[in-house]
């Protein structure tokens, strides 16, 4: 209980670190404040705080690293909203909707480079290397996904690669850089990284699953967005490979369409085991993540990681 | 003569360093190759090669630094084209036109993070710090400019700040990081940085001037774009403050309009000394840049900097 409280307290400090950024230019300051007004789950920041808790004497750097990771993640979200033309983010209007695409692109760049400035201040070459590479991989994943739009012949391996690059990669880097910062040994760094990587993919699979949900209110964000945007994600993928010619054609006709009867699509995908098979895949990643969590030779950190895996697997929003 | 050849040779190697980047994913590779197919002036890369030539024993790092700077610059251009909805870049269709805005945003992020990866490999904390800050300042400048669209009450100081952030800042960082890399003393670093900063603003003023040109063919890119996009740049600014009430209204009516009679606008702006006053401002920055160039205590580097200032001032495209 004490540990949870201390993690929540640290997350609050990280939040403040980010929000207290002073920007002299009023318009940029307004934009920045708007973006950080709404709270995400801060899972990535938590991951790095957990793995870096091996050595709390480096507390100032630990908090800064968590802030860097939160900034990097937020920059990708702002750019993603431009890419996907998303109307909302975390329950409020997206920057591209309330301001413009141009603002989304530029404030995203501003936040990215802010993250790099703080990263440089941490002054750990291995951390810089990992985060620069992770950022590159994220954009790679987004580009691969963009070019896979409306492509029903995508295979499971490619889908998993996209999930890894766009989500698992930053989970992995968050845990890894935290572990490096606290001077964990090779095994520790390797186990928390692999655990977090699989946790990240699990998180993405659950995200894809939640998008195929009939209860928009419970989720707190628009549903059936992926199919509308032409994105083949796991539920669609599994349904499609399980479908006969007739149902394949039906599914194909829904992909990329903005007006859909979501109830009938949900039934079709469910009947074709799209939901069930996706849940099975989620379990597979859950088990992999648990396997590596159990190899972590620090009781407290192991417990925190298992808790994160649990909440990712059972999350309802 | 020998020196020019060696600089050109080095620029070619930098070009190759950038182009030889191997990307396994075909679509990303195509996009990347397309962007680097067309050649810019590579002024920023040259600047860093010139100032780092103080110590040629560090040749591998020098070339890598120049590549980093070229990548950073290119990433800003790709994002700028999304921001400005530009149709062309360096004589060919822009990424956002030929692919999409989404591709422009993501490949820009890809190139940014690639630059950071190479930067980390150079492993010089002061260089990392300078380039991370410069990148942040560039996005700040672009945001300020974006929010100043159609604002005729902008003052000269604000216009100069925009020119510094969006252009002078990377010129400055290019020269500064080159000088740091070659272990130049404090005076050397300071003089080349200030020289390059003023050269950058001069370059931007000339850019704004060339946009107000009746000979589109000679320039090699669309003209009168700034006024069409609602951007108040120097020629418009000076004309506007020199104008009486009647002409002020006229000028205001042109700002942000896509269909314009460019001949009559040019005459109006010229008659109101918009061109002449901009040229005077360019001379002011030219003189400042020359002043600092003359303080550089290395004959060869001083000569190269003076040459760059000359070519920036007299450039016709």
Domain boundaries, chain A: 2-314
CB neighbour class for B118 (10 Å; exposed up to 12, middle 13-18, buried from 19): buried
- pLDDT above 50 (res A113): yes
Cβ distance A143 to B105 less than 8 Å, yes or no, reads no
pLDDT tens-place string over residues A165-213:
999 999 999 999 999 999 999 999 999 999 999 999 999 999 999 999 9
Residue A294: pLDDT over 80: yes
The overall average pLDDT reported for chain B is: 94
Q: How far is CA B258 from CA A66, B29, B227, B262, B265, in A?
A: 46, 35, 9, 11, 13
Tokens of residue B68, six digits: 């980093």
Q: Is B20 an interface residue toward A (CB < 8 Å)?
A: no
Residue (of B45, B187, B182) closest to B122 by Cα position: B182
Question: Are residues B143 and A119, on separate chains, in Cβ contact within 8 Å?
Answer: no
- Distance from the Cα of A307 to chain B's closest Cα (Å) equals 32
Q: Which of A196, A188, A232, A183 is nearest to A212 (CA)?
A: A232
Are B148 and B154 in contact, with CB atoms under 8 Å apart? yes
Q: Work out the minimum CA distance from A251 to partner chain B, whole angstroms.
A: 25
Name the CATH superfamily, with its identifier, for domain B2-314.
Farnesyl Diphosphate Synthase (1.10.600.10)
Q: Which member of A79, A133, A140 has the closest CB to residue B105?
A: A79
Average pLDDT over residues A275-283: 98
Phi, psi for residue A92 in degrees, rounded to 5: -120, 165
Give me the percent of chain A exceeding a pLDDT of 90: 85
CA B195 from chain centre, in angstroms, equals 15
pTM over 0.90: yes
Q: Residue A2's pLDDT is what?
A: 46
Please give the structure tokens belonging to residue A100.
């413009």
Chains A, B: CB contacts within 8 A come to 135
Confidence of residue B4 (pLDDT cuts 50, 70, 90): low
Whole-number Å distance between alpha carbons of B67 and B131: 13
Nearest of B80, B15, B3, B22 to residue B41 by alpha carbon: B15
pLDDT exceeds cutoff 90 at A20: no
pLDDT of residue B50: 97
Q: Tell which A residues from 65 to 94 touch B, by Cβ distance under 8 Å.
A: 76, 79, 82-84
The mean pLDDT value for A274-282 works out to 98
CA A65 to chain centre: 17
CA distance, residue A81 to nearest chain B CA (Å): 10
pLDDT class for B81, splitting at 50, 70, 90? very high
Statement: residue A283 has pLDDT above 80: yes
Residue B161's CB: how many other CB atoms inside 10 A? 18
Distance in angstroms (rounded) separating the CA atoms of residues A292 and A151: 34
Distance CA B196, CA A214 (A): 59
**A-chain residues within 8 Å CB-CB of B136?**
110, 113-114, 116-117
What's residue A11's pLDDT? 93
* pLDDT the model gives residue A4: 53
Q: Cα distance from B46 to chain A (closest Cα, Å)? A: 24
Which pLDDT value is given to residue B2? 46
Beta strands in chain B (DSSP E): 88-89, 92-93
* Rounded-to-integer distance, Cα A99 and Cα A239, Å: 38
Mean pLDDT over residues B184-189, rounded? 97
Confidence of residue B307 (pLDDT cuts 50, 70, 90): very high
In which residue are the tokens 């033309």 written?
A85
Position B1 confidence tier, pLDDT thresholds 50, 70, 90: very low
Q: For an interface test with B, give the residue of A74, A108, A109 to mutate (most B CBs within 10 A).
A: A109
* Closest alpha carbon to A191 in A99, A306, A56, A72: A306
Among B31, B82, B113, beta carbon nearest to A136: B113
Rg (alpha carbons) of chain A, rounded to whole number: 20
The string of DSSP codes covering B72-134 is: HHHHHHHHHHHHHT-SEETTEE-HHHHS-HHHHHHHHHHHHHHHHHHHHHH--HHHHHHHHHH
pLDDT score at A5: 61
Spatial separation of the C-alpha atoms in residues A256 and A251, rounded to whole Å: 10
């Amino acid at each position: 209980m004490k540990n949870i409280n201390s993690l929540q307290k640290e997350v609050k400090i990280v939040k403040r670190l980010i929000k207290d950024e002073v920007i002299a230019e009023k318009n940029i300051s307004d934009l920045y404040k708007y973006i950080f007004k709404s709270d995400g789950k801060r899972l990535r920041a938590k991951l790095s705080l957990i793995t870096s808790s091996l050595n709390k004497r480096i507390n100032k750097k630990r908090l800064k690293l968590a802030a860097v990771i939160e900034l990097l993640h937020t920059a990708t979200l702002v750019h993603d909203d431009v890419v996907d033309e998303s109307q909302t983010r975390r329950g409020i209007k997206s920057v591209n909707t309330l301001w413009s695409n141009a603002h989304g692109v530029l404030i995203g760049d501003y936040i990215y480079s802010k993250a790099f400035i703080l990263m440089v201040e941490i002054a750990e070459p291995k951390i810089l290397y990992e985060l620069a590479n992770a950022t590159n991989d994220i954009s790679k994943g987004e580009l691969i996904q963009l070019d896979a739009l409306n492509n029903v012949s995508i295979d499971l391996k490619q889908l998993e690669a996209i999930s890894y690059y766009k989500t698992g990669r930053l989970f992995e880097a968050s845990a890894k850089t935290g572990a490096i910062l606290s001077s964990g040994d090779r095994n520790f760094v390797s186990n928390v990284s692999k655990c977090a990587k699989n946790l990240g993919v699990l998180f993405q699979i659950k995200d894809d699953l939640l998008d195929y949900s009939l209860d928009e209110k419970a989720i707190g964000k628009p549903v059936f967005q992926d199919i509308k945007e032409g994105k083949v994600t796991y539920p669609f993928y599994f349904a499609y490979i399980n479908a006969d010619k007739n149902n394949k054609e039906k599914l194909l006709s829904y992909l990329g369409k903005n007006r859909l009867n979501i109830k009938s699509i949900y039934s079709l995908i469910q009947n074709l085991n799209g939901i069930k098979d996706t849940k099975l895949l989620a379990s597979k990643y859950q088990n992999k993540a648990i396997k590596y969590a159990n190899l972590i030779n620090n009781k407290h950190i192991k417990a925190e990681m298992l808790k994160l895996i649990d909440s990712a697997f059972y999350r309802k929003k």
